[in-house]
Homo-oligomer: A and B are copies of this chain.
């Protein structure tokens, strides 16, 4: 009895002690509640859920809605899209935490609807022998919309110019140089084809030779694989550009609002005098269709232009006498440009939205796409906008239902006035200039270039080397969904963001924010088109997109899945999925090329490449070190401030490559690795350009500039390497 009592007492006591310990340990936790939050990593099941909810039909409906009317920047159609974005992002069931508009007063250029720009051939007796089309031919009701803007060159000065016609190929400096050796260019009008040089450059390069006006057209060789007939070859029978199609565009060199360089274009912001603007055409320029270009070029007199100047027309492209052949009906006639463009300061809106982060609300992942188009803009930009809207719908719903809140904040931007020179995104970067140390990644969405080629769809992803990894991961995961239409054989083409082609420019070049640009593009082995053929024409419509670019909208769906996947990983990962060793690799490639190309000659000039070699080696060693720290750490169980430190190092890496001294002649280019370059070498852009200039001029001061840039570059890379360490030594 006693024994039983003791045993039962003991057993009861032991059991109670055990229960107590368990309650004490697990029931009354003494770890603060935030401990779990700060070490939480990305949730793969959430990504699966996101991928499954992205709906191609929703994207198609978004595109239909967005392309109902033309929505050129600051027009009534643009305002409709502003309202649409706000409505969607403020939707109580699938919207974001907050959405608002930000307005800028920006300097734009428009044709005059009452005085359309005119291009005519005028005989010596003042008879008008030919008039170029003032609007593109209609194939669907879309082209008849009165809001379709006449083809024009934004920022071309108004003016009335009349002169003999010459053919100047692509309007490159070398083209005018060659042409000028045969023809006296003084007082002439030059016709050029798109490609080879920037739009504004075709006029800027011409003016020093006395050329007084420029025409530009798209040669069927460059866009239509040579096809020209709308009877059966071009749209509406295929994706090719019809003969009357005209590529509109912004004819400027710098990005952002021109009157407020480096400052946000607010109402009371100081504006520079219009005469101080640089980088715009000094002489009138006007784009025309190849239908009209054919009539002009095939009648030109003078010597035959070189083989590389010949396009797809079934005639020899001559330089021009100047002017037309003696045998032509246009003999002795002039070409006349009557340009009525005018500039206006107009109110352009960015629509902004945010999903606030739970653990690190002051770390931002930015996802943006421009909203304004030239005409209906089904591909450029609405394909991207329709994808962004589907992505925010799926994410917004998860947030509103309480199923998800990202670790970091996500900012969405629907930029305005991109077509006039990346204005909306550039003004935004001028506003956040001082906050940019918090910004993580501008996941800019495609501007254009979706196409469905089921077996050969190419995912084109451009970005800093450090983002390649996460893009590959996301793309593989999406392609493994084995969608019926998008085959799993999707190939990925990785590139770099070295120009100022789209809204990533101000983020990359001005602020040094790690960025990427993801799109599906067509198979370049099957066509020579330099871009999708309806680009910036009145044919870039829902009809065109749904028939010839992505029937069924499965490529759109794949992009939404890929981009969203990347976005969630950037926003939720405990350690940012950025890889600094991939950056080291490209620096080593660039160095190797630079040494091969320049070292011998630089030695002759007593300029050492050693500091650059040492800097790249420092970077590699620092990147390897940081990789090892990440690999060897059990970050989910270490202090969250260690994760914070590593994330800061990864996040700020691109900022460390900024140096405002690097490109004194390039507006808003500060990233020493990714700036644009005219030298066309796969190496450090500033070095390549400075070297090319010194080599061509032979001037000691130009060799000094090579040395100077080498110092700037080496110290920037050395500095970037230091940011990957904790302290020096």
Enumerate chain A interface residues (CB-CB to B < 8 A): 5, 8-9, 12-32, 34-35, 37-38, 98, 100, 260, 262-264, 266, 268-270, 273, 352, 354, 356, 359-362, 364, 409, 411, 430-435, 437-438, 608, 610-611, 637-641, 644-645, 648-649, 652, 655-661, 704, 707-708, 710-712, 715-716, 719-720, 722-723, 726-729
Contact = CB atoms under 8 A, between A and B. Distances in A.
Contacts of A409: 726-727
B262 A434 contact: no
Choose among A434, A640, A648 the residue with the greatest number of B CB atoms under 10 Å from its CB: A434
Q: How many copies does the complex hold?
A: 2
Given A12-B13, A360-B645, A28 B25 contact: yes
Given A360-B645, A640-B640, A729-B100, A719 B435 contact: yes
Given A20-B21, A34-B638, A640-B641, 14 more contacts: A9-B9, A17-B17, A17-B23, A24-B25, A30-B31, A31-B32, A32-B637, A34-B639, A266-B611, A360-B641, A361-B726, A431-B715, A434-B655, A437-B655
Contacts of A273: 704
A269 B434 CA distance: 30
From DSSP, what is the main secondary structure of chain A's interface residues? helix
16 contacts: A8-B9, A9-B12, A17-B17, A20-B21, A20-B23, A20-B24, A29-B30, A32-B35, A32-B638, A34-B638, A268-B608, A362-B648, A364-B727, A431-B719, A434-B655, A639-B640
Q: Give 3 nearest A-B pairs by CB, closest first.
A: A20-B20, A24-B24, A434-B719
Given A21-B23, A31-B30, A32-B35, A722 B434 contact: yes
Given A35-B32, A660-B660, A729 B19 contact: no
A15 B10 CA distance: 12
B37 A270 contact: no
A178 to B, nearest CB: 36
Contacts of A27: 24
A18 B24 CA distance: 9
A611 B268 contact: yes
Given A16-B13, A21-B23, A611-B266, A641 B719 contact: no
Contacts of A35: 31-32, 35
A264 B20 CA distance: 64
Of A17, A20, A637, A711, most buried by chain B (CB within 10 Å of CB) is: A20
A565 B277 CA distance: 54
A270 B437 contact: no
Contacts of A655: 434, 437
A661 B262 contact: yes
Contacts of A660: 660
A359 B98 contact: no
B362 A726 contact: yes
Contacts of A645: 360-362
Contact of A24 (B13, B23, B268): B23
